[in-house]
Structure formats: structure tokens, C-alpha cells
A and B are shown apart, each in its own frame.
Chain A
């Protein structure tokens, strides 16, 4: 029973305390660049999740074989291999999404979340917990990308359309600036301020 509790806490940690964006502040570039819509956010998070799960499992499976002194180059090669796979799969099966995400699919390779988790977690824990960690971090990343994408899409275009389904529309004058670069900076600034505020309040309450 204690074991399943630990699994759950390791998973949920990726969404809350060690959330890639608001907790660890890693991987900002894709977070801001591709979140012009919910759909792009989901696509980016899916690609990143595939790479993160693959690299975490691979690194932890090989952690006893990898010499400590050359571990970073080896991690990078492992990650680059998975990114190449994602790149080719997305180009073949989801061409519109691939075109929208552009250079940011191959750039998953330099996403600090992935090498950060390989170094900080997968290198020290067994395959199962590394998988759970990767799933948790991916879920956290997905939620943040959907949140930012949703805010920007609804304020910038007045509606949310996901994979052809019209989910929501609000009768507001669309502020195009929100789907342009400044909107990304503004959204993340406000969200980070809210997170900081909540953290400070929690700390003040002594918890």
C-alpha cells in the first residue's frame, strides 16, 4: 500500500511542486512559442512526452553502464535519437501540426526539462519510478501548455477550436496581440505572479 502511495506522490509531484514550468522553470522557449492555440500546445506536449518517457526509461535502464564522466554526451545522444523519431513520425502522420510547430519539434532536443530529468532523476532511480516521473512531468507540461494556449486562443481569437471541434466561443472583440509574441510574455508573467503569490501565502501560513 505504501508503495502505491509513493507511485502516486511521484506522479503528482510533476504536476504540482516540480511542475516543469512553474516549479522548475525549465523549457520556457517551447512554452511561449507554440502556445498560440490549445491544439498546438497539445501537439507540442505530446511530442515532448514521447521523448521524455523514452529518454527517462532508457537512461535509467542504462544508468549502471554509463560512465559518470561522459554521461551528459550520452544523454544528449539518447535524447536526440528519440527526437529524430518524433520528428519523422509527426512529419509523416500529422503534417499540419508539424508545419505549425516548425523548428520547435527538432528543438525538443535542447528542452532543459528532458536533460534535467535525465540528470536529476532517471540517473539515480530505477526504470519504473523514472517512467512515473516522466509521466508526471509530461502531464504537468501538458496542463501548462493547454492553460497558456487556452488563455491566448480565447483572448486572441474569441474561440477555442481543437482538432476541428469548435469547443467554446465568447462574444468579445479578439485582441490579436494575445496570439502574437507579446501576448505570450504577458500571459506567462501574470501566471507566474499568481503562482508566486500562492506560494508566498502558503509559506506565510506555515505550510
Chain B
């Protein structure tokens, strides 16, 4: 098998296999925190950081501890614990240094540990058998792809807050209609690099 170029992985993470719009990972925060751009940006920053960190740590854990000891069946449990610990760390740092961000993120910061996007990165890395550098690039690019879509979505929703839509469509259905259109645009990236 030809080793995937880092650039290909970068493009996959950003657009072709975009976590929110193509792979449906991390949708809770996608509809929950995109009502204004500031929280969306804060959440995205936290996710990028946690994703890059957990991709690194979980690669080391899997390759140097679980595989030599033949404990691959514990992978899921150990990844979850590692991510939860990292999220706790990020929470401490944000609470201490940026209290305003901590207040606006509210419930969503602890929820990163049950954010499927972060665990998704880690599991996809293991499934694709990525090397160390590939894992890190995939972690960062998936986080940046998440950021792009979160910012687009929150900007659109901010401008649409005063639009008069039928009461049944207000809120979540409206967000999903916007997501449909965004997703249609992203689906066409499939054609850029055949997978």
C-alpha cells in the first residue's frame, strides 16, 4: 500500500472527510454552540487543541503500551479515559486564564469528553493505521475542518436570527436546513481527490 501523503490527509481532514458535514461527528456542538460566532470560535479552539493533543497521546499509548502488551481490546476504554483527562486539563487552563470564555462555553467544555469528534479522530487514526506524523496531521486538520464549518454555520445563523421563518421550523430544523445546503457544497469535494 502506498503511504498517504501528509497533504492528502490534510485535505481530507479539512474538506473531503469533513467531520461535521460529511462524517457526522460532533453534531451536538454543531447545533448547540453555533448561535453566536464568539462561542463557536471558543469551542472550536478547544476542540482543535484537544484533538491534536489526544491524537498524539493516544498514538503513543496504542503503539508503545497496548500493542506490545497485546491489550488492543482495551483500546476503547483507555482512549476514553485519556480524552477525559485531557479535557479536564483544558478546562483547568481555560477557567484560570480566560474566565469569560469559560462562562460562555458553559456546559459544552466538559462535553468535549463525550464529543464524538475527538474520539472519532483517535479511532480513525487507529483504523487507518496512520504513522505518528500522519496521526498528528489528521488530528489537527480534522480540528481545523471542524473550525471552518463551525464559523461558517455560526456566521450564517447570526445573520438569520431576525429572519421570519414559520414557527415550526424555528430552532433546530432551521439549523439542519442550513446544514443541508452547506453539506451539499462539501460533498462535491469528493471529486477533487478520488478516495
Report A's interface with B, CB cutoff 8 A. Answer: 25-26, 28-30, 32-33, 73, 76-77, 80-81, 83-84, 87-88, 102-103, 106-107, 109-112, 115, 177, 180-182, 184-186, 188-190, 192-194, 196-197, 200
**Which segment of B26-34, B49-57, B90-98 sits at the interface?**
B26-34
Which residues of A sit under 8 angstroms from B167, Cβ to Cβ? Answer: 196, 200
Which residues of B sit under 8 angstroms from A30, Cβ to Cβ? Answer: 24
Per a CB cutoff under 8 Å, which of B27, B80, B127, B172 touches A80? B80
**Which segment of B39-47, B58-66, B111-119 sits at the interface?**
B111-119
Complex contact A192–B176 (CB within 8 A)? yes
Closest chain B residue, CB of each to CB of A201:
B168
A178 vs chain B, min Cβ distance (A): 11
Complex contact A182–B73 (CB within 8 A)? no
Complex contact B22–A110 (CB within 8 A)? no
Which residues of A sit under 8 angstroms from B81, Cβ to Cβ? Answer: 73, 76-77
Q: Is B77 an interface residue (CB 8 A)?
A: yes
**Which segment of B4-12, B140-148, B180-188 sits at the interface?**
B180-188
Known A-B contacts A107-B116, A193-B169, A196-B169; the reply to A76 vs B80 at CB < 8 A is yes
Complex contact A185–B183 (CB within 8 A)? yes
Question: DSSP majority for the A interface?
Answer: helix
Known A-B contacts A177-B184, A185-B176, A189-B180; the reply to A109 vs B80 at CB < 8 A is yes
Report B's interface with A, CB cutoff 8 A. Answer: 21-28, 31, 73-74, 76-77, 80-81, 84, 114-116, 119-120, 123-124, 127, 166-174, 176-177, 179-181, 183-184, 186-187
Complex contact B177–A29 (CB within 8 A)? no
Which residues of A sit under 8 angstroms from B115, Cβ to Cβ? Answer: 110
Cα-based distance from A194 to B172 in the complex (angstroms):
12
Complex contact B116–A110 (CB within 8 A)? yes
B118 vs chain A, min Cβ distance (A): 8
